[in-house]
Each structure stands twice: as structure tokens, then as C-alpha cells.
Amino acid sequence: MTVATGPYTTQVLRRFLPSPSTRASSRGSLPLVIGLVVQAVTTYLVLVLAGRSLGPVGFAALSSLYLLLTSTATGLFTPLEQAVTARRGVEAGRGTWDDSLRRRALGHGLGMATVAVGVSLVAWPATVRALGDQGWLVVSFCIALPGYACWFAARGELAGLGRLETYGTQLVIDGAIRLVGAVALVLTDNATTAGFGLLFAFSPWLAFAVAPRAGRSAPEGRQVLRTPPLTGALSVLVLSGLAAQLLINAGPIVVTLLASGSDRSLAGVYLAVLVVIRVPVFLFTAVQPGFLRALAEHNGGGRRAEFGHLLKVVLGAVSGLVAVVCVLATAFAPPVVSWLFDFEEQLPRATCLLLTLAVGLFLVATVLGQALIALGHHLWVATGWLLGLVGLAVGTAAGGELTMRATQGLLTGAVVATTVLGALLYRELSGWATTPTETTAQVP
């Protein structure tokens, strides 16, 4: 999606955000788009190499690590990145600088990583089961999380300082590290589940090691001023992020947990299909930072018409994309996945359609959630995603064939989350016609 709509989104941002800093940010979004595209392509190539080397059963275990690691890291540390980005953006507008922000962000990230690692070790039997009874994958998970904490904090500094070219370069480096490592494993006959797991474990540490150390000293002309603690808003954003990531990534994990020994390969096939149809969600992260920042600035400036127009433009683009992807995935996903991953098993086309629709609704819910965050309703967003998890549980418990249970759980959860977030946003926007415009300036 980002490749097709990125330039248009940049034009929208330039039109509605006349400030020089915002125009510079929108112009710098192209390197970020390129970085995300390269990272996505290299990640998928690594997964294809792993699938062809390990077979469905081994790939099922690795796929569970990939989903558990990416969902946990995204849920825990993307809110941290967003908080740091927003703080640095506000400081740029005010001419201030918090020299403790970088240290505090790293502390929060490492603290959350420590808690997550502790929970995974305390729940060792369940964690090992979720990772296909591969103990080394639990070790990889524990190694990777603190690395992601440091790297996401560094990304927040780069984005907040407007260094999107460097941000995009870092994404390219991260993707290249994984791809080179995967090729090396294959060429040296070390393409085992544990080998690929350790590749995922150390890649964030290597990416952070080569990341520029932004934010160590105050830019010239800035007044040093301490900002409020990160804990309050960050805790609610983390809750929302974890719930959303658990919802979108639950399918293969559900298949792994419920599968008998003979059905283990289904989890690998299921993830392979999900990898292909999740491209729009993965690439939406290129638009998401600018989209959220644009909506927040419109709201803060009392520009309600512009807020509503930008929201409609993005929702319209996303809805159109979902319709197109549903048609394409239904027609081509089964044979494409078999060709890419060299799997004999295929998911039925009906399952691919429902799975694609669920992913599309998740993307719509993400857009609605971003609008509510821009309006300051963090708790409402958390409520929507948590109720989505309830829908996931209900849909999964309804019974049926294994992959259909996972799919109907994901679809039910996505429908519930989209409906709740949409209703809450409609409630807020419908009150704008009768409520006077108020402009506030608060530190995120």
C-alpha cells in the first residue's frame, strides 16, 4: 500500500500542514518508505529461505518465533518510539530540549523487555509449546527483546529529530543483516531452526550497534527543559499495542497450540499465507507516523475540516486496497505460497478470503485507532483492541476445522475492534458540530 499511496499521502500532508518542519518531514518520508520496502522484501526472502530449508514442521516453529517476537516487540516498543518522536517534535516547536529523554526512553524499553523475558521464562512450558517445542527458540526470544528495546528507542530519536533518511537507512541495514545471515546459513549447511532463531535474536543488536547516536547533546539554540514522565501515556499505549499485535498475530500461534503432531505443518502453511497477505499492514508503518502527526497537529490547531478530510482520504484508500487485495489473495494466494515456499499443502481459497478480509479490517481499525490517539483518547483505543481480543476468543471457541477456527477467531476479533473503534470515533466527531473549537497544547 505504501508504495502506491506514499507520494499522494505526502501531497496531502504538504497541503494541510503548512509549517516548514512538517513540509520537511513529509519530503523526508520517501527514504523511510524505501527503507520499509527493503526491510519487508528482505524479511520475506528470509522467511522463504527458511521455509524451503526447514520444511513445514520446522518452519511452523520458526514462524511462531517470528510472530511472537515481532508482535511483542511492536506492541511494547512502537509506543515507546512514538512517545519519543512526539516529545522531540514538541521540543522542536518550542525551542526546548530534554537531555534526559534518551536515557529515560532506554530505561523504559529495557524495563519492559526484562518483564517480558521474565514472563516467558516463568511460563516456560507454555512458551516452549507455543514455539513448537524448540527450547533454543525461547533463548532467541529472550536475547532479541532487549535489542529491540534499544533499537526502537534510537528510532524514536531519529524520527523526532527529522532524520528520516538515516531512519530509512537503518531499516535497510536491518534487512540486509538478516538476509546475509540467512544466505550464509543455507550455504554453510547450518539452515536449522535454531540457526534461523539465533539470526532473529542477534539482528536487532547488530542494527542498534550501527545506529547513529542521536539525542546526546542539545541542538544549538535550544533551552534545556525537563519534560513530564513517560510512564502514564506510555502504559496505555503499550496495552493497546500489545492487544493489537496479539490479535493480528494470533492465528498461527492458535494453530500451533491446537494442532496435533500430524497437523503441525498447517501452522507453517498458515503463516506463509499470512506473510503474503499482510504486506499492506507491514508497509502501512511508512505512512502511520506522518498520518498520526498530521491528525494531531490538525486537532491541536482546531482545524476540524482538515482533520476529517485527511481521515476520509486515508480510510478511502485503505478500504479500496482491502477490496483489491481480497480479490487477488483469493485467486492467487494458494498457488503463490506453494511456489514460494515449496509446500505441498494449500489453504482453501475460502479460508484465504476470510483471512485477507480479517487483515484488512485490522488495518481499518488501526487507522481509526490512530485518529483516536491524535484526539487524546488513548484509553478508548485500548478498550477497542481489548474487546477485539474477546472477539478473538469467542470466534476461536466456536469450533470447526483447525485453520478455520484460527481464521474465524481473527475475523471476529477484527470485526469487533473495527466496530468499537469506529463507534467511539463517530461519537467524538459527531459532537464537533455542536462543540466550540478548543485549541490546547499538551506534552504527549
Would residue 73 count as lying in a domain? Answer: yes
**Domain total in the chain:** 1
Count H helices and E strands in the chain, helices first. Answer: 16, 2
H or E stretch including 376? none
Residue 424 is part of which domain span? 2-433
Would residue 162 count as lying in a domain? Answer: yes
Q: Would you tell me the crossing angle of helices 349-374 and 304-341 to the nearest 10 degrees?
A: 150
Euclidean distance between the first and the last CA atom of the chain, given in angstroms as a whole number: 28
How many other CB atoms are found less than 10 A from the CB of residue 210?
Answer: 11
323's CB contacts (< 8 A; 6+ apart) are none
Would residue 85 count as lying in a domain? Answer: yes
C-alpha cell at 121: 521464562
C-alpha cell at 444: 504527549
What phi, psi does 224 have (nearest 5°)? -70, 120
C-alpha cell at 13: 500532508
Q: Cα–Cα distance between 40 and 355 in angstroms, integer?
A: 20
C-alpha cell at 40: 519487508
What are the C-alpha distances in Å from 250 to residues 242, 404, 414? 11, 13, 11
Would residue 439 count as lying in a domain? Answer: no
Would residue 443 count as lying in a domain? Answer: no
Q: Cα–Cα distance between 312 and 76 in angstroms, integer?
A: 29
Would residue 441 count as lying in a domain? Answer: no
Would residue 45 count as lying in a domain? Answer: yes
309: amino acid identity, one letter: H
Q: Cα–Cα distance between 105 and 99 in angstroms, integer?
A: 11
DSSP letter string over 244-309? Answer: HHHHHHHHHHHHHHH--GGGHHHHHHHHHHHHHHTHHHHHGGGTHHHHHHHHHHHHHTT-HHHHHH
Would residue 297 count as lying in a domain? Answer: yes
- With a threshold of 0.75, does the pTM exceed it? no
Q: What is the pLDDT along the chain (444 residues), one digit of tens a residue?
A: 333 333 333 343 343 333 443 444 444 567 777 887 888 788 878 988 998 898 878 888 887 888 788 888 988 898 888 778 777 766 776 788 888 888 899 999 999 999 999 999 999 888 898 888 888 999 999 999 999 999 998 888 887 777 778 888 888 888 898 899 999 999 998 889 999 999 999 989 988 887 666 556 677 767 777 777 778 778 888 888 888 888 887 777 777 777 666 566 666 777 777 777 776 665 566 666 567 767 776 776 777 888 889 899 989 888 888 888 888 888 888 888 778 777 777 778 888 888 889 888 998 998 998 888 878 788 899 999 999 999 999 998 887 777 788 888 889 999 999 999 999 999 988 877 655 544 444 455
Q: In this structure, are residues 330 and 383 in contact, taking their beta carbons and an 8 Å threshold?
A: no
